[in-house]
């Protein structure tokens, strides 16, 4: 069974991700959390949740998470994307989104979809 949840947020979405993690910390605490560098550090600091830090997105963190998805251990990816700003590592972002679609891994790219998948992540 998949036991990893990946958390990623673009710079202007990091505050939203931290608030989301605080709100859902009881559910998230049942999973091994992985996150890109700054996002994961901020979640850890704000919630006390243990988060395995990958590289930052521009330094390959999105690709590291994509590899985890391919390996089959990721239950969901929550990636709060800022649609108003182009990212220098856009090819890596698109590769991660494609991998999630290929592997049938739930993928939330905004708060509405993140909130929608949380009930399915709640332990029985």
Residues forming the active site: 62
Residue 27 has φ and ψ, to the nearest 5°, of -75, -50
Strand pairing report for 4-9 and 32-35: parallel
Strand partners, 113: none
Cα–Cα distance, 84 to 115 (Å, whole number): 21
Lateral strand order in the sheet of 32-35 = 51-53, 32-35, 4-9, 74-80, 107-108
Cα–Cα distance, 53 to 35 (Å, whole number): 5
């Amino acid at each position: 069974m998949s036991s990893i949840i990946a958390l990623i947020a673009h710079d202007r979405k990091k505050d939203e991700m931290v608030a989301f993690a605080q709100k859902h910390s009881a559910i998230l605490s049942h999973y091994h959390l992985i996150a890109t560098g700054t996002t994961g550090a901020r979640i850890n600091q704000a919630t006390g949740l243990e988060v395995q830090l990958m590289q930052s997105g521009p330094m390959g963190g999105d690709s590291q998470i994509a590899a985890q998805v391919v390996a089959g251990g990721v239950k969901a990816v929550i990636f709060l994307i800022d649609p108003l700003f182009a990212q220098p590592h856009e090819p890596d972002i698109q590769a991660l989104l494609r991998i999630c679609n290929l592997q049938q891994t739930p993928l939330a790219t905004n708060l509405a979809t993140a909130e929608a998948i949380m009930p399915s992540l709640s332990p029985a």
